[in-house]
Amino acid sequence: MTDQLPPKSRHGSEKRQRNKITPIRWASDEFNAVAAKADKAGLTFGAFIRAIGLGDAGPRARRNRPVNDRILVKAMGLHVKYGNNLNQIAYKLNANAQDALASDFEGALREWAQIRDLMFEAFEMEPSSDTPEGHG
C-alpha cells in the first residue's frame, strides 16, 4: 500500500480562445477603485478591463448584478421587524385569540410584500406578474 494519492486529472480543456494571461501589479487603492467601477458596471473585473481596452467586454463576459447595499440593509431590518410581528401573531393564535387572525395576518402579508419589493429594487429586477392575489 502507498500513502500517496494518484495525481489529479485536469478538469475541462485548455482549448480556450483567450490563452494569454497578463499579470498586472496594482496598488490597493487603484485595484479597489477599478473593482468598484467594474461592480457598478455590472461586470467582472476581467470583463471590465477588456471592455475598457477593446471597447467591448465580449459575448461571453460574465455580468454581475449591481447591488444597492443601502436598500438591502433596509430590507434586512424590515425582515427582522416583520418576522417578529408574525411571531407575535402566531403566539396570539396559539393562545386562542383567533379574532386577531384575519386583520393581523393580512397586515403582516402586506408588510412582507414591502420586503419583496425592496429586494426586487435592490437587484434591479421587476416582480413577476404571477403574484398571488391578496399578497401584494
- Give the pLDDT of residue 130: 53
Report which of 65, 34, 30 is spatially closest to residue 50, judged by C-alpha positions.
Answer: 34
Q: Which residues contact 43 (CB under 8 A, 6 or more apart)?
A: 51, 57, 61, 62, 63, 64
pLDDT confidence tier of residue 132, bands split at 50, 70 and 90: very low
Q: What is the pLDDT of residue 89?
A: 78
Scanning 5-68, the segments in alpha helix (DSSP H) are 28-41, 45-54
Question: Percent of the chain beyond pLDDT 90?
Answer: 8
Distance CA 46, CA 39 (A): 11
Half-sphere exposure in the Cβ direction for 96 (13 Å, CA):
0
Residue 135, pLDDT above cutoff 60: no
pTM, full prediction: 0.41
Residue 134 has pLDDT above 50, yes or no: no
